[in-house]
Structure 1
């Protein structure tokens, strides 16, 4: 079982619920040690007194704020003394519709669990109430000398806690970016074609369809260097679309996306003189997405028309070795080789 990263009491109104907080996500980043080049000697970070050059034990390190004239020393215990609720209170001050909270405010997600079996009824009561209301509780609490603004919501039969950014932490994009489009004009034809491309590429959100190919390539690189194999290189980034060629690029993108991808699959109807901006029925989207996933694009589909992500999925289904380090052309050749092998066997 995972260890809680924080425990305390969640309160709403006069109801108190002792809870434990658990990390909801894992990082699969490949981690490296630091070595001195030409040796196998580890390089480590140390706390060193900059005046004497001597290492300082952790229990002798204190926090200090530089006010310009001198350092103001602050002990860890003093920070705990001023923490709201002594760092153990998670008080819900009100409930909001989560749709009103803009995505930019969300930071990290945690699971909340009752601290003991005797609190499961109160826990279930809050979870069901939030689920039926479609609301989230807004609260603050302190963890590791930091105060957090959070949203507590019901998800899949449990309570989750999402840390939020404070309002004054959100930057104004118009101050940060000096070349935003502003009142840049786009033609009706360009907008219509862009809308058609967006509509043609609509898919059902399935997070399990996406995975971290870069970390797979890092692992493949490590394996190749260990065995002395050749190391493949990634594709160069796509060239920027010239404004002059924008319509051609949009039209070619729509045409490629409309090509049939399954056995007997039907092309989308070509656009007429009028723009159809009405939303597609969900069943049409889901059925098309499911067909694309189940057929993998069909055996007769041209490999040259597929994206690298689609090629990678096919290579995964075919259990092609070394696929994570292949570029697009190498994936196409490997898949063609698989087809030729099946045809002659």
Structure 2
């Protein structure tokens, strides 16, 4: 069982509920050590006195605030003494509609559990009440010398706690970004086509369909370097869409997105590539080039932009993914380039023998 990162008392009105808080998420980032180049010597960070150059033990380190003229020293126990509720109270001051809390305010998520079996009834009562009301309890509490604004909500039969940013921590985008579109005008045709693209690409939210493909590639890189194998480089980023070719890009995107919806995906519904995949820039560039040239000729073996006659080994990942979509290859959104090639060859052999 996991160890709680905080325990205290959740209060709402005159009701008190002892709870424990558990981390709800994990990070699967690959952790690297630091070495001096050309050696196997570890490089470590140390607390060093900048005047003497000597290492300082942790128990001799104190917090200090620089007020400009001198340092004001603060001991850890002094921070605990001034913490609201002495760091052990999670007081709900009111309830809000979940839809009123903008996503930008949410930070981290934790699970809340009752501190003992004798508190399960109060816990279940609050969970059911919040779930039926579609509400969240807004509260504050102190953990590790930091006060948090939080939202407590019902989720899948338990209480979850979401830390929120304070209002003055949210930056004003108009002060941060100097080239926001403002009153930039778009045509009705462009807006209609963009809406059509959004509707065509609409999916059901299934988080299990998405994978951290970058971390998978980092792991593959480490294994390849360990075994002396080569590693395939990622596809280059998509080129920016020229404003002149905007309608071509939108139309080509809609046409491409419609193809998977005409056939079953193998997973019970439409499914798009995960966040690690990019749309093939050649598809959009060819459509734009065709329009600029007044229609243009056709390539051998297929239409403009077609790669039907090309070997699978010569195709980009984006082109392989498009073919996998047309062939209804299951699990294609989480495949790397090599896996797409193998899957397409398997599908081709299956069609030849059936």
Class of the TM-score when normalised by the shorter of the 2 chains: 0.7 to 0.9
Computed over aligned residues only, the root mean square deviation of the Cα atoms, in angstroms, reads 9.2
Q: How far apart in 2 are the matches of 1:99 and 1:283?
A: 40
Using a 3 Å threshold, how does the CA distance of structure 1 residues 2 and 131 change in structure 2: closer, same or farther?
same
How far did residue 336 of structure 1 move? 2.9
Tell me, what secondary structure is at the counterpart of 1:291?
helix
Cross-structure match for 2:276: 275
Contact residue 139 and residue 149 of structure 1 kept, 8 A: yes
Structure 1 unaligned spans of 5+: none
Cross-structure match for 2:340: 331
After TM superposition, the score normalised by the length of structure 1 is 0.81
Tell me, what secondary structure is at the counterpart of 1:47?
coil
Contact residue 234 and residue 327 of structure 1 kept, 8 A: no
How far did residue 339 of structure 1 move? 2.7
Q: How far apart in 2 are the matches of 1:178 and 1:293?
A: 32
After TM superposition, the score normalised by the length of structure 2 is 0.79
How far did residue 320 of structure 1 move? 12
How far did residue 223 of structure 1 move? 0.6
Contact residue 94 and residue 137 of structure 2 kept, 8 A: yes
State how 1:89-100 maps to structure 2 within 5 Å.
89-100=89-100
Contact residue 204 and residue 285 of structure 1 kept, 8 A: no
Cross-structure match for 1:265: 269
How far did residue 129 of structure 1 move? 1.1
How far did residue 276 of structure 1 move? 29
How far did residue 172 of structure 1 move? 0.4
Using a 3 Å threshold, how does the CA distance of structure 1 residues 206 and 299 change in structure 2: closer, same or farther?
farther
Using a 3 Å threshold, how does the CA distance of structure 1 residues 181 and 328 change in structure 2: closer, same or farther?
farther
Q: How far apart in 2 are the matches of 1:255 and 1:286?
A: 14
Using a 3 Å threshold, how does the CA distance of structure 1 residues 246 and 234 change in structure 2: closer, same or farther?
same
Tell me, what secondary structure is at the counterpart of 1:295?
coil
1:291-320 Cα shifts (integer Å, max 9, x gaps) = 999999999999999995896799899999
Using a 3 Å threshold, how does the CA distance of structure 1 residues 290 and 264 change in structure 2: closer, same or farther?
farther
1:212-239 Cα shifts (integer Å, max 9, x gaps) = 0001000100111111111110000000
Structure 2 unaligned spans of 5+: 300-309
Cross-structure match for 2:230: 230
Using a 3 Å threshold, how does the CA distance of structure 1 residues 180 and 305 change in structure 2: closer, same or farther?
farther
Contact residue 203 and residue 285 of structure 1 kept, 8 A: no
Count of matched residue positions in the alignment of Structure 1 and Structure 2: 340
Using a 3 Å threshold, how does the CA distance of structure 1 residues 256 and 47 change in structure 2: closer, same or farther?
same
Q: How far apart in 1 are the matches of 2:297 and 2:72?
A: 69
Bigger shift: 248-257 or 75-84? Answer: 248-257
How far did residue 330 of structure 1 move? 7.9
Contact residue 138 and residue 150 of structure 2 kept, 8 A: yes
